């Protein structure tokens, strides 16, 4: 039973949707209630923190990819497109100033 709860806590999406403090508080409470020794509790908390960071990074990357995909479908310029156009405008402005 405890292993099932532990695995449920460590699932990626569930971790990413909670705040880091919530995860730490829940992990500490779980460690106390399951009567883990100090080393087990510390290892468990560290594992929770690592999985939280991994899940958050993965979720951030997925969201970024989805937003980029939506922008392409809407045919809206990306930040990179705008930066490239700004660089080209700067280059052309310098040429015009040089020739004037």
User: Cα separation of 6 and 10, whole Å?
Assistant: 6
Q: Would you state the pLDDT for residue 77?
A: 83
User: Cα separation of 99 and 9, whole Å?
Assistant: 66
Q: What pLDDT, in 10s, does the model give residues 30-63?
A: 777 777 777 877 787 788 778 878 877 888 888 8
| Mean model confidence pLDDT for the chain | 78
Helix (H, G, I), strand (E, B) or coil at 37: coil
């Amino acid at each position: 039973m405890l292993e099932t709860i532990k695995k449920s806590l460590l699932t990626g999406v569930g971790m990413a949707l909670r705040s880091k403090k919530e995860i730490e508080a829940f992990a500490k409470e779980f460690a106390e209630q399951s009567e883990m020794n100090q080393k087990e509790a510390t290892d468990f908390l560290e594992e929770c923190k690592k999985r939280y960071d991994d899940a958050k990074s993965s979720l951030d990357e997925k969201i970024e990819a989805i937003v980029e995909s939506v922008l392409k479908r809407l045919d809206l310029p990306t930040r990179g497109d705008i930066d490239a156009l700004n660089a080209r405008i700067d280059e052309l402005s310098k040429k015009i100033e040089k020739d004037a």
